[in-house]
């Protein structure tokens, strides 16, 4: 039973991320490099948050709920600061790649970098948030035996999946806002990140946590889809599986037989 819970929760938490990596990242070396770079910047934010927490505990001599809330908020702000540093580095890398290319264009666009870096932020964040939970889910023991909620593991898996997707969407929106210098977009990303982190403090009242976070994930995904240039028309074209040769449209008049002279 423990193995089934472990693999089931792992598949829920990292299944969508693994599919995205295999289908959109693994075959492109530059995207793999961006993926690793994004994970490195998130780890830097984790290191800074850990040092800040250690110093705060040592100076205050306590670990109450108020200090925990402040620590979570500081960790969110440090993550977004690291995302901005990642944007600046990738922006410089994009300009350098464009200079080195023969046609003057970078082989990877800034939007692709935003997507891959956001995905890497989500994956590494999810790994650190659920690793210990997955280790406990493998057993021995039975969750809820002392009257606690039996949905702890599966709820944690869905929250981790939402966090991975949210970081992916936040990366797209954040990079676009930085590129266009839109302070409103940056504020909404930071605000939604703080809201998501704050909602987790309502656990184990899972009805007030899972539902709002999944709704926020859906809304943020639609926002990121529109920011990346997506539209409902493009979705219909994708589902119809119709491809135009070399991006050109063939008119019906071009298929008519020319008149005889």
Tens of pLDDT along the chain (261 residues)? 578 888 998 999 999 999 999 999 999 988 999 999 999 999 999 999 999 988 888 887 777 777 888 889 999 999 999 999 999 998 888 888 777 766 667 788 888 899 999 999 999 999 999 988 888 887 776 676 666 777 888 899 999 999 999 999 999 999 999 998 888 889 999 999 999 999 998 888 888 889 999 999 999 999 999 888 777 777 777 677 655 554 444 443 444 444 444
pTM value? Answer: 0.84
DSSP 202: G
Alpha helices, DSSP H, located in the chain: 2-24, 29-60, 65-100, 110-137, 152-180, 183-199, 210-227, 232-240
DSSP 254: G
Distance CA 91, CA 79 (A): 18
Sign of the dihedral through C-alpha 185, 171, 49, 128: positive
Contact 86, 117 (CB under 8 A): yes
Contact 103, 21 (CB under 8 A): no
Contact 67, 56 (CB under 8 A): yes
Distance CA 23, CA 159 (A): 23
Contact 134, 6 (CB under 8 A): yes
Q: Which two tokens stand for residue 27?
A: 């075959």
Count of C-beta atoms within a 10 Å radius of residue 2: 13
Distance CA 207, CA 214 (A): 11
Contact 181, 132 (CB under 8 A): no
Residue 260 dihedral angles phi and psi, to the nearest 5°: -75, 140
The three-class DSSP label of residue 191 is: helix
Q: What b/e sequence results for 38-55 when a residue is b if at least 16 CB atoms lie within 10 Å of its CB, and e otherwise? A: bbebbebbbebbeeebee
Q: Which two tokens stand for residue 113?
A: 């970098």
């Amino acid at each position: 039973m423990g193995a089934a819970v472990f693999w089931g929760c792992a598949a829920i938490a990292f299944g969508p991320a693994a599919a995205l990596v295999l289908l959109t990242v693994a075959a492109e070396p530059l995207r793999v490099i961006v993926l690793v770079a994004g994970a490195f910047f998130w780890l830097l934010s984790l290191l800074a948050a850990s040092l800040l927490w250690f110093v705060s505990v040592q100076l205050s001599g306590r670990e109450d709920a108020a200090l925990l809330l402040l620590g979570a908020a500081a960790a969110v702000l440090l993550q977004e600061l690291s995302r901005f540093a990642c944007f600046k580095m990738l922006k410089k890398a994009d300009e350098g790649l464009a200079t080195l290319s023969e046609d003057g264009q970078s082989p990877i666009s800034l939007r692709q970098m935003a997507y891959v870096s956001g995905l890497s932020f989500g994956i590494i964040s999810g790994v650190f948030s659920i690793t210990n939970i997955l280790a406990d889910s493998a057993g021995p023991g039975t969750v809820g035996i002392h009257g606690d909620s039996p949905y702890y593991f599966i709820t944690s898996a869905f929250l981790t999946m939402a966090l991975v997707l949210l970081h992916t969407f936040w990366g797209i929106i954040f990079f676009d806002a930085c590129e266009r210098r839109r302070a409103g977009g940056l504020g909404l990303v930071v605000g939604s990140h703080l809201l998501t982190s704050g909602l987790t403090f309502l656990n184990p009242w899972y009805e007030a946590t899972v539902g709002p976070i999944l709704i926020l994930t859906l809304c943020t995904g639609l926002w990121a889809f529109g920011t990346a240039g997506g539209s409902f028309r493009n979705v219909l074209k994708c589902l119809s599986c119709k491809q135009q040769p070399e991006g050109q449209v063939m008119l019906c008049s071009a298929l008519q037989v020319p008149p005889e002279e």
